Chains A and B, each alone.
Chain A
Amino acid sequence: MSLLLKDISLPLAHFVLRVNVELQGRTTGIFGPSGAGKTSLLDLIAGLRRAKSAFIQLDNEILTDTDRRISIPPRRRGIGYVPQDLALFPHLSVQQNLLYGQKSNDDPKPLFSLKHVVDVLELQPLVHRGVKDLSGGEQQRVALARALLASPRLLLLDEPLGSLDSQLKARILPYLTRIRDEFQVPMLYVTHDAEEVAALCDNVVRLDRGQVAGHGATASVLKMS
Chain B
Amino acid sequence: MSGEEWQVVWFTAWVSALSTVVILPFGLAVAWVLARFTWPGKSVLETLISLPLVMPPVATGLILLKLFGRRGAIGGFLHDTLNLDVIFTWRGVLIALGVMSFPLLVRSARVAFEEVNPRFEQIARTLGASDLRVFFTITTPLALRGILGGMLLSFARALGEFGATIMVAGNIPGRTSTLSLSIFQSVQLGQDAHAFRMLGISVVLAFVAVWTSEWLMRRGKERK
Q: Which residues of A contact B123 (CB under 8 A)?
A: 81, 83, 87
Stretch at the interface among B104-112, B128-136, B191-199: B128-136
Residues of B within 8 A of A81 (CB): 123, 126
Closest B residue to A99 by beta carbon equals B127
Minimum Cβ distance to chain B for residue A102 (Å): 8
Closest CB of chain B to A208's CB: distance in Å?
Answer: 26
Q: With contacts A83-B119, A87-B119 known, is A150 near B127, CB below 8 A? A: yes
Interface stretch, picked from A3-11, A56-64, A72-80, is A72-80
B window 91-142: CB within 8 A of A? 117, 119-120, 122-130, 133, 137-138, 141-142
Given contacts A83-B119, A104-B130, contact A74 B125 (CB under 8 A): yes
Q: Are B141 and A91 in contact (CB under 8 A)?
A: yes
Our count of residue pairs bridging A and B at CB distance below 8 angstroms stands at 58
Question: A90-B142, A91-B141 given as contacts; is B128 within 8 A of A85 (CB)?
Answer: no
Give the residues from 18 to 65 in chain A that come closer than 8 angstroms, CB to CB, to chain B: 46-48
A146 CB–B CB distance under 8 Å:
yes
Known: A91-B141, A104-B133. A75 touches B122 (CB 8 A): no
Interface presence of A117 (CB below 8 A): no
A147–B117 touching, CB < 8 Å? no
Interface readout for A99-129 with B: 1 if CB under 8 Å, 0 if not?
0110011010000000000000000000000
Closest to B141 in A: A91
- A147 and B124 CA atoms in complex are apart in Å by 10
Q: Indicate whether A89 reaches chain B with its CB closer than 8 angstroms.
A: yes
On whether the beta carbons of B142 and A91 are closer than 8 Å, the reply is: yes
Question: Which chain B residues numbered 122 to 164 have a C-beta less than 8 Å away from chain A?
Answer: 122-130, 133, 137-138, 141-142
Question: Are B124 and A100 closer than 8 Å at their CB atoms?
Answer: yes
**Which among B117, B123, B124, B138 has the highest number of chain A CB atoms within 10 Å?**
B123
Knowing A74-B125, A75-B125, the reply to whether A87 touches B117 (Cβ < 8 A) is: yes
Q: B126 contacts which of A77, A85, A107 (Cβ < 8 Å)?
A: A77
CB distance B142 to A46 under 8 Å?
no
Q: How many whole Å from B180's CB to the nearest CB in chain A?
A: 38
A106 CB → nearest B CB, Å = 9
Q: Tell me how far the C-beta of B145 lies from the nearest C-beta in chain A, rounded to whole angstroms.
A: 11
Contacts of B137 in A (CB 8 A): 100
A89 neighbours in B (Cβ, 8 Å): 120, 124, 138
Top 6 nearest A-B pairs (CB, nearest first) are: A101-B127, A104-B128, A104-B129, A105-B128, A74-B125, A87-B123
List 12 extra interface pairs beyond A80-B127, A85-B119, A147-B127, CB under 8 A.
A48-B122, A48-B126, A75-B125, A75-B126, A75-B129, A79-B126, A83-B119, A89-B120, A89-B124, A101-B129, A104-B124, A107-B128
